[in-house]
Amino acid sequence: MKKILFILLCVSYLNANAYDGFDRAVKELKDYGFAFCLEESYVDKKEKAFPPTKLSYDLYIFQRGSMKFAIMGGLRNEEQVAKSIRNFVSQYRSNPKNQITNNKQGIQIYIMECMNMFQNSKEYQDEVERIVKKYCKDCE
């Protein structure tokens, strides 16, 4: 899992120059929200293990990298941006119409929910763009 997240982060970094400030910030914040969705789905918040589990650490690194690349794109006020994205993702996931379950077993399939939000949700795209417009005054 760590290798996959590292590769995703590297690909994100290599493609970062292909975007202007606004598009870059939007792309990186979408990545940040996706990583947060996975973290919220698969990492037990009650667990106080130190060192943290491999998955929680990898998702943390991926989120930090995505936010840093968004800041390089011109985004400001990192804490407020992170809070806005996290609030939206939490609300999105709590909506029953966005939950995907295995019909035979009735088990929620979290990764599919996160992928659906990341790839197909117009609401998510619009919210990320709204946040970037609000916090990125230098973006075009």
Q: What is the pLDDT of residues 11-51, one digit of tens each?
A: 566 555 545 678 888 888 898 899 888 888 776 665 655 55
Is residue 103 included in any domain, yes or no? yes
- Which pLDDT belongs to residue 100? 73
Is residue 140 included in any domain, yes or no? no
Measure Cα distances from 6 to 3, 62, 131 in Å: 5, 8, 26
* Domain carrying residue 113: 2-134
Class of residue 6 by CB neighbours under 10 A (exposed 0-12, middle 13-18, buried 19+)? middle
Q: What is the pLDDT of residues 121-136, one digit of tens each?
A: 999 999 999 998 888 7
Domain count along the chain: 1
